[in-house]
Amino acid sequence: MAKSNYMTTIAIDTNRSAIHFYSMVGNDKSSITHNIKSYAGVKLDENFFDKFKDAVKDFAANTPSESIRKVTVILPDSAVLTDTVRIPTVKGSAQTQKMLDTTLGGLYRNYKDLHIIAQMADQNKQYSTIGIAAVQNSIVSSIYSACSENKLLVDTLSFASASSVAAATLFNPKLKNASYVFLDVKDIYSRFVFVVGGKVMGFYTLPFGVEFLRNPKVVREDALFDHSYAELTVLNARERAQSKKLTVMGSDSYQDAWDQYSDNRDDLSENYDPEGDEEDAPEEVVPEKEGHNLKIFSRKSQRNLPKFMLREIPETKDGIAYENFRVFMKWALTLIHSNEKITEIDKPRFVCVNLPEDLSFVVDVANKESSENGITFTHLNGVADLPIVCQNLELYGGLFPSQINSANRF
């Protein structure tokens, strides 16, 4: 076995509380091995890295080939900060770095404790827009220490969204310098990734995935979390196009999505009630300011949407899958609409979707409603029929570190 042909990704997965070891010989996908080591805990603290070190030690000891010396380590997105900052344009890289340091030092109190990579996203004579990704120095040093103690050299250190995008580019080279949103739908969660010119500029995770699409019944979105904002984004986009007044809703933030999802996992299969409960329907509040042309709704105890926002419940398996996929469509629109700091650099041209083969049809159906949602959805061709790759795209991307954009490597 040639030393240069054996590649390994080590990934920390906080969504499943697991450490992944993913290896492949050459380009032979049938040779892929995937070992998982579970751990307890939620923080990447000293206790976690003791377990991480033991897991790496076991992997190194039980790997028959001595050729595995270089590895790619993939951090969870939850450990990484991404941001875009605007600074005055100055002459010379040294002055630009000084200005960036001053700006970031004012934004982040723990700036000196962060390992930061910066990339020039956009520039004119007045302002420069810088994209950054940051992780705590203690996490970086702990990873390098755990691997070096076991005679493994960390060739590349990146994060899940960047590695997923790198894998997508392997299957579709046209994505290399494109600006788009990448949707990677996994088993129990999904990630949206903003890509500008081939570089990851931001990401967002939803606490549901393939199992949500395969549910035998249409799932109430509000049983997962308060998703009304995205519903209203679709309505507002339509109303803007028709030059009608806007509708907004004052509702709870969906910042507790993870907790609410966990609490409601057992109730996901309930039918979506098209009639709702009139006593618990959103209450219209008349704005105090005269002449205000907005309707503002506030939530009562139950999370039922107004009748005009509801759709007919499908009866077929495929129809149900697509109706549930509309949640992702609405989130795509919501995220694009809400992240002007990224989209003003370059607006996404499409949403590229990674889904298992039996669910890929929903992408085609989604495009039939393009006039409604204003977004084009595309398939990530060539990966849907490869479950061990499709389900672990960020792990597969780590096997090809040169494909990970240099602006997304720590």
Q: For the residues 340-360, what does the mean pLDDT come to? A: 92
Q: Cα-atom radius of gyration of the chain, to the nearest Å?
A: 23
Max mean pLDDT range (173-187, 217-231, 293-307):
173-187
Q: What is the pLDDT of residue 294?
A: 44
- Residues forming beta bridges with residue 128, ordered by sequence position: 87, 123
Return d(Cα 185, Cα 353) in angstroms, integer. Answer: 7
Taking alpha carbons only, the member of 130, 142, 193 closest to residue 163 is: 193
* Beta-bridge mates of residue 88: 127
Identity of residue 227: H
pLDDT at 291 over 60: no
Rounded Cα–Cα distance for residues 328 and 190 (Å): 9
In the predicted structure, residue 173 carries a pLDDT above the cut 80: yes
402's CB contacts (< 8 A; 6+ apart) are: none
Three-state secondary structure call for residue 91: coil
- The string of DSSP letters for 393-405 reads HHHHHHT-GGGS-
Most confident by average pLDDT, 56-65, 214-223, 319-328: 319-328
Locate 327 and state its tokens. Answer: 């949640």
Sheet containing 114-123: order of strands? 81-88, 127-136, 114-123
Which residues have CB under 8 Å from 339's CB, separation 6+?
A: 194, 202
Q: What confidence tier does 276 reach under pLDDT thresholds 50, 70, 90?
A: very low
Per DSSP, the three-state class of 137 is helix
Supply the CATH classification number for the domain 81-134. 3.30.1490
Confidence at residue 68, expressed as pLDDT on a 0 to 100 scale: 66
Residues 90-119 have a mean pLDDT of 91
Question: What's residue 103's pLDDT?
Answer: 92
d(CA 293, CA 287): 9
* pLDDT over 70 at 239, yes or no: no
- pLDDT for the residue numbered 230: 53
Report residue 196 as tokens: 């500008």
Residue pair 377/367 in contact by the 8 Å Cβ criterion: yes
Q: Among candidates 131, 162, 29, which has minimal Cα distance to 345? A: 131
Phi and psi at residue 149, to the nearest 5°: -65, -25
Query: In this predicted structure, what is the pLDDT of residue 27?
Result: 84
* pLDDT-above-70 percentage for the chain: 74
186 phi and psi angles, rounded to 5 deg: -100, -170
Sorting pLDDT into bands at 50, 70 and 90, what band is 257? Answer: very low
Letter string b/e over residues 106-130, b meaning 16 or more CB atoms within 10 A of that residue's CB: eebeeeeebebebbebbeeeeebbb
Residue 9 pairs in a beta bridge with 22, 72
The length of the chain, given as a count of residues: 410
- pLDDT, tens digit (0-9, with 9 covering 90-100), for 134-157: 999 999 999 999 999 988 889 999
- How much is the average pLDDT of 48-59? 94
Which pLDDT score, from 0 to 100, does residue 217 have? Answer: 85
The architecture that CATH gives domain 3-78+137-172+386-408 is 2-Layer Sandwich (3.30)
Question: What's the mean pLDDT when you consider all of the chain?
Answer: 80
pTM over 0.85: no
Report the DSSP pairing between strands 28-38 and 18-25. Answer: antiparallel
Spell out the residues 6+ positions from residue 395 whose beta carbon is closer than 8 angstroms to its own: 9, 11, 20, 22, 34, 74, 163
Residue 71: HSE in the Cβ half-sphere, 13 Å Cα cutoff: 27
**pLDDT value at 120 more than 80:** yes
What's the token pair of residue 16?
A: 């499943």
Show Cβ contacts of residue 94 under 8 Å, excluding neighbours closer than 6 positions: none
- Tell which wins on pLDDT, 244 or 307: 307
Output DSSP code: residue 155.
Answer: E
Local confidence band at 315 (pLDDT 50, 70, 90 cut-offs): confident
On whether the CB atoms of residues 390 and 350 are closer than 8 A, the answer is no
Classified as helix, coil or strand, 242 is coil
Q: What is the pLDDT of residue 69?
A: 73
With a CB cutoff of 8 Å and minimum separation 6, the contacts of 110 are 136
pLDDT of residue 147: 93
Query: Which residues of the chain form CATH 3.30.420.40?
Result: 3-78+137-172+386-408
Pick the residue with more confidence: 235 or 152?
A: 152
Helix (H) or strand (E) holding 85: strand 81-88
